[in-house]
Chains A and B, each alone.
Chain A
């Protein structure tokens, strides 16, 4: 019988790793997951956190608050929205609502990832705990690497990957926070520009359908408009109006396609 990994185009090496998984301990796979964090997507994520640290410091947050936020929220869009709401002087309900709206996409991502890690013997609490690590970068890396990881070891692999990314970026945020005050203005400006540049590109690439790209363009245009019109509620208003409009265009296009 031909090994499945070879049938699906994987190398013999991958197959051997997958086969030997049963004999290797969880610690080995945890370390392999941790090592997977040191990659191009991981490096790009670090640059985005360098920008985030500058943004949070500028918004008046303390080092401890920023590191705390990095650990408990983790997903960068949610954190950038939270800092945006703090900057705009939004109240707690408005800020929570804006962050929640920006983070809904985490639910379908977890829905997609969980079945890949689950076996009949996986305790439910492990899946809940690991879901905290879900954000764009760890999700993309995991979905890419899981086929080289034996199924029973995938929770250990993801624990290594996720915890390394979270703890590593908490350290990055703290380090940037400490040196940011001593940088020349031009370097600080470049630092703050990292966050918008990261999202301008990664948001476009992560869109699953054309509607997502339409939503991005409308959101870019309406954000500043609503900032002037309704400064207290600008993010939610721009997100709802632009998102619904993009969805409407998506439905019209689909109907026309079917007719």
Chain B
């Protein structure tokens, strides 16, 4: 009996501490599942890895620095709404394939493994490769996953994300990519001269 009362008191006490803490924590932790508009956080991490492969960092920053994922995410809830389905399914297919073939997420693969994967995707060969490999490993893929891989792991998705990456890196920063005009600075282009005013302050060389 005592124990019950104690437990009950303890429970109420814990609860009130809990509620208090709830109020103190930033709201978004609870109200928002993702940091992105369309992508889940997992998808965002994967897209970061893919776009960085398409425009990698060398002596100049790459697509991740230029916030290309942010550009794509923004367009997917705007002019590219019609591409939502292919992004959602193809990104899922990539992770299923990587898990089956390498027991890792795409972004956990070594750089060259990621490149090979995308080269095969571009050539439309990756689905067959993954399915063959899983059979050879004695780790056959269940039918639902097989269907996702066959339907969505295709070269048309690679072309799409390739084009969108180029747009995000080389297009106007006002759409969420080309952070600080990084691509313009890389090419050595001044932002446009606007007669009577200079709207952009970015310099043409160095960061």
* A and B found bound together: no
Listed in ascending order, the chain B residues whose CB lies under 8 Å from chain A are: none
Listed in ascending order, the chain A residues whose CB lies under 8 Å from chain B are: none
